[in-house]
Amino acid sequence: MQATEIDLERATGLLRVSFDDGSRVELPAEYLRVESPSAEVQGHAPHQRQLVAGKRAVRIFDIVPVGHYAIQLVFSDGHDSGLYSWEYLHRLGAEQGQRWDAYLAALEAKGLSRDR
């Protein structure tokens, strides 16, 4: 799978990605930040995954191409260590509802907020 178009709507923080299979995903900056593929968020094993709170206002400052297979996103909070492969971005789009609901439930269970 290959991305054919990437568009960032800076005002809202929405990243739109079109793929060569004809699909298109729209991913908010906050969602991309809390689902970062970086070791800082994902850990090195499933039990090491970190819950990232307080990112409602985060924005994407820059998009850096990485070869022909991924992009690196630079966020307004300084996070820039995750490489978002085309497959991962596609999966984030396909699983957005389920992942977002699980994220919100985890925040609530820990008494955390999207704002802090």
The pLDDT assigned to 46 comes to 76
Band of residue 116 on the pLDDT scale cut at 50, 70, 90: confident
The pLDDT assigned to 44 comes to 79
Q: Is residue 71 part of a domain?
A: yes
List the CATH number of the domain containing 39.
3.30.2020.30
14 contacts 79 by C-beta, under 8 angstroms: no
Q: Is residue 37 part of a domain?
A: yes
Q: Is residue 102 part of a domain?
A: yes
Percent of the chain past pLDDT 70, that is, above it, reads 100
Question: How high does pLDDT run on average in the chain?
Answer: 93
Percent of the chain past pLDDT 90, that is, above it, reads 82
Q: Is residue 116 part of a domain?
A: no
Residues 6 or more apart from 9 whose CB is under 8 A from it? 15, 16
As a whole number of angstroms, the distance between CA 2 and CA 4 comes to 6
92: burial class by Cβ within 10 Å (0-12, 13-18, 19+)? buried
User: Does position 110 have pLDDT exceeding 90, yes or no?
Assistant: yes
Buried b (16+ CB within 10 A) or exposed e, 18-29: ebeeeeebebbb
As a whole number of angstroms, the distance between CA 58 and CA 69 comes to 25
The structure tokens listed for 29 are 């900056």
Structural domain boundaries, residue 70: 3-109
Q: Is residue 12 part of a domain?
A: yes
Q: Is residue 101 part of a domain?
A: yes
Tell me the average pLDDT across 84-92.
Answer: 97
As a whole number of angstroms, the distance between CA 90 and CA 85 comes to 9
Q: Is residue 114 part of a domain?
A: no
pTM for the structure as a whole = 0.93
Tell me the average pLDDT across 67-92.
Answer: 95
The pLDDT assigned to 40 comes to 79
Residue holding tokens 């991924």? 70
What is the total count of domains within the chain? Answer: 1
Q: Is residue 99 part of a domain?
A: yes
